[in-house]
Structure 1
Amino acid sequence: MVSQIKSLQLRETRQRWRLTNKRFLFPVFLFAMLVSPATREMTVTVLADAFWQVAAYVAATLTVYHAVSARMSYNTKISAYLQRSQRFQVIFAAVMGALPGCGGAIIVMTQFVRGRLSFGSVVAVLTATMGDAAFLLLAAKPLTGLFTVGVGLTVGMISGWLVDTLHGGTFMQPVQSEILAPEHHHPQSDTQSTSLRWQGYFWQWLLLPSAFVAVSGSFQIDLDTVFHFPQGSTSTLGAIFALTAMVLWSLSRDIKNYQDAVSEDPKPATAKLFQRVAQDTNFVTTWVIGAFLCFEIVMRITGWDLATFFTTWSPVMPLLGVMIGLIPGCGPQILVTSLYIQGAIPLSAQLGNAISNDGDALFPAIALAPKAALLATVYSGIPAILISYGFYWLFE
């Protein structure tokens, strides 16, 4: 009896002191690097660049996107036309996939599982989608982002039509017993709800000021000199804002599995505009900071110039971009896009990754129709290799 009581007390102690939020390890790691004199300057630069050059633009882009999408509704006439026209199904799926983020692709996957769209539509949407990496690329390099999204849209439509021509419209569709059940929304904890609310306030208050600073930096205007601030004030402020955004993001969700680590947070139905903007912006920013920091640490430890190193292996880079694209989740794809923005990898690798990656849409696809998801991923990888290496041989 005594041993059972001791065992119960031990389990309660372990439960009380277990690491309840593994996301918080990243901000703690950054705090440690800021405290250390050897890494402080590098970490401040990375955080400031990630905030002013990426987060501010991504937040502005997302604000427009979510504001517009909130006012759009799906017309029942479109649903009826989708049922009648298989060719239009593929166009609709490719367009939904080309929309930045993963929401459009997830909608197409649920419609396929319900038997309303063809398997070619699944291939089209997974080929066209770039996930949250699209926000990053559009914000940092708008023309390249539009070009990449356009290529994905075109390749997605062609791939979807070819697949439907090859297999027919009912190929791989689930039987009625496998139709998607209503989604159950898990309630958020008080800590998560508070974090989401403060994330929304954070970007609601900082969107316009951060956009002003970001645009000024893009035009090479030194605001420290213009406003007679001490040198480095803007960088320090950016680092503080980036770290604050990461702390708020780390408190909004625990990491219990792979999907929690690499996918954007699910948005509550009651989430307001800036809360949705904040969730996606802080997720993208965190992965960008991780990519920038790894880039700088590797160069400092090894002395390598990664851009030159990757250039040496340039024939392999398109294939590497495609292979990383096959990994589920938006996180790895944001890493690839961050490396492209840094100039470390060529555009051919970015194109291959954009076409092959399925973003967060692959998670519900695997859960609802695993065989179709696997085959669609393989089909999306084929044009990714062809396009990336075609671009490499013709233009690089």
Structure 2
Amino acid sequence: MSEILDIFLVSVRDGFLQVSAFVAVTVLLFSYVQYRTGGRLIAAIEDHERAQPLIGALMGLTPGCGGAIVMMPLYVRGSISFGTVVATLVATAGDSVFVIIALAPEAGLYAYAAALVAGTLFGYAIDRFGLGVGRVDAAVSEVSRATSTAAHRVPTGSGVHHYEEAAVADVEEAADGGEAVSREATGALWHLSNAALWGWWLAAAAGLVIGIAFLARGAPEIALSLGTNFAGAFTVVGLVGTTLSFYLYFVGRHHLGHGAIGEAEDTFENARETLLHAAMETSFVTVWVIAAYLLYEYGIVFTGIDVAAAAAAAGVLAPIGGALIGVIPGCGPQIVLATAYAEGAIPFSALTANAISQDGDALFPLLAIDKTAAIVASIYTTIPALIVGVGLHLLYGPMFGFGVL
């Protein structure tokens, strides 16, 4: 029991200080860029048709899924080509890029550079030669008609993000159940959530300083401690930061919109909204990183399996598996895989295949707008992932731990 508790506390602590504090800075910078560019970026994309696959790949490569999400409604409007959609999704970095930036930046540089090149080339090839897209589209349409089911649709251009969508769903469910939230309770939770937001940013700022000092010391093992020394500060800030991250993700997100539950929007109109978006995005990453840490550590303890040895024994199946995991929409599974790479559990070829194959949250709005196009695009993002991932594995071997700090 002592070992299980220690694993839990260390994972909770390290996840925030080794990943989340650095993620917060990256997301905040990207949010500021979104605010500064405004609508000028969309107009530029529409005006430069020949450059669209390259622009789409660059948009997909931006940290998180925001850049890729922007591109999806443009396809339905007829402003960009299908090749541009595929280029965007191939290069999409998703939220897993934050984990790689924090824990294995050199590996991330090469993996996402490969995704950028593959996305750009494949996008232009689809626009120029077709590559059988029409036949795949027809086949998917036929299957879709045979197995069509009702699905929840997110309105085009709604800007709904992962934490907001869940909040809206929860509110709708509560309304359907006839539940009512009193004004007093809502107000109290808003004040509590607002305090948690600013407390989270204080923890993130302190965590960034401590995290940099930790790396400067050579990333040594830090004992769990509640003293006044470095280990004590490391432990306290890490635990507090993760606790506030979980609160913001599971509770605070329902109350930190524009004064109403579940109505937060990524508008970036002022400093508070920009900070709110960055905190929510980072909290989402934190939850999945902690889950990945615990899954990996407890998996080893309870099963005794050497994950790295199993991945090495899998051989060329490792990058194939990485590519197939990337087919799963959303960022959660990809964060788990990125964390596993940082732990030395999977090879670089699998990480690269996943980086190319994954579509992140960008696939959700496309699924809502044009389900057939989304499925076809997902199929076409898997092809370069398999080619590059398997090619890397055959040329350079598995390369465990490449570029990990």
- Give per-residue Cα distances to partners, 1:185-229, cap 9 Å, x unaligned: 78977488557634531332123311111111112277989x963
Q: Does 1:60 align with 2:61?
A: no
Distance 2:267 2:35 in 1: 14
Distance 1:195 1:100, change over 3 A: farther
Q: CA deviation at 1:379?
A: 0.7
Distance 1:241 1:154, change over 3 A: same
Match of 2:306 in 1: 305
Q: For 1:75-154, list aligned pairs within 5 A.
A: 75=40, 79=43, 82-83=46-47, 85-154=48-117
Bigger shift: residues 198-207 or 183-192? 183-192
**Quick one: higher RCO (CA 8 Å, sep 6+), 1 or 2?**
2
Larger radius of gyration: 1
SS at match of 1:86: coil
Distance 1:217 1:230, change over 3 A: closer
Q: CA deviation at 1:69?
A: 2.7
SS at match of 1:70: helix
Q: CA deviation at 1:358?
A: 0.2
Distance 2:206 2:75 in 1: 43
Distance 1:68 1:121 in 2: 22
Match of 1:234 in 2: 234
1:247 is matched by which residue type in structure 2? Y
- Give per-residue Cα distances to partners, 1:242-274, cap 9 Å, x unaligned: 1232123111458xxxxxxxxxx9646665222
- Give per-residue Cα distances to partners, 1:277-301, cap 9 Å, x unaligned: 1111111111111111011111111
Bigger shift: residues 228-237 or 272-281? 228-237
2:105 is matched by which residue type in structure 1? P
Q: CA deviation at 1:236?
A: 4.7
Whether the 8 Å CA contact 1:97–1:105 is kept in 2: the answer is yes
Q: CA deviation at 1:306?
A: 1.8
Match of 2:152 in 1: none
Distance 1:243 1:182, change over 3 A: closer
Bigger shift: residues 151-160 or 193-202? 193-202
2:23 is matched by which residue type in structure 1? V
Counterpart selection for 1:156 from 114, 119, 140:
119
Distance 1:75 1:122, change over 3 A: same
Aligned residues: 341
Distance 1:253 1:237, change over 3 A: closer
Q: CA deviation at 1:142?
A: 2.0
Distance 2:77 2:291 in 1: 38
Q: For 1:163-178, list aligned pairs within 5 A.
A: 163-167=126-130
Distance 1:75 1:351 in 2: 32
Spell out structure 1 runs of 4+ moving beyond 6 A.
184-189, 221-225
Match of 1:22 in 2: none
TM-score (norm 1): 0.77
Distance 1:230 1:163 in 2: 54
Match of 2:344 in 1: 343
TM-score (norm 2): 0.76
Whether the 8 Å CA contact 2:253–2:280 is kept in 1: the answer is no
Distance 1:105 1:152, change over 3 A: same
Match of 1:8 in 2: none
- Give per-residue Cα distances to partners, 1:41-89, cap 9 Å, x unaligned: 111111111111111111122222222332223427x736734x53211
The RMSD of aligned alpha carbons is 3.1
Distance 1:388 1:299 in 2: 26
Distance 1:215 1:293 in 2: 24
SS at match of 1:301: helix
Q: Does 1:44 align with 2:9?
A: yes
Whether the 8 Å CA contact 1:318–1:349 is kept in 2: the answer is yes
Match of 1:356 in 2: 357
Distance 2:297 2:45 in 1: 52
Distance 1:298 1:125, change over 3 A: same
Distance 2:388 2:244 in 1: 40
Q: For 1:193-232, list aligned pairs within 5 A.
A: 197-220=194-217, 229=229
Structure 2: gaps spanning 5 or more residues: 138-154, 172-185, 255-263, 398-405
Distance 2:382 2:10 in 1: 36
Match of 1:183 in 2: 158
Whether the 8 Å CA contact 2:101–2:108 is kept in 1: the answer is yes
Bigger shift: residues 143-152 or 227-236? 227-236
Structure 1: gaps spanning 5 or more residues: 1-35, 173-179, 255-264
Distance 1:206 1:155 in 2: 39
Distance 1:81 1:47 in 2: 41
Whether the 8 Å CA contact 2:56–2:87 is kept in 1: the answer is yes
- Give per-residue Cα distances to partners, 1:5-37, cap 9 Å, x unaligned: xxxxxxxxxxxxxxxxxxxxxxxxxxxxxxx64
2:246 is matched by which residue type in structure 1? M
Q: CA deviation at 1:315?
A: 2.3
Whether the 8 Å CA contact 1:325–1:354 is kept in 2: the answer is yes
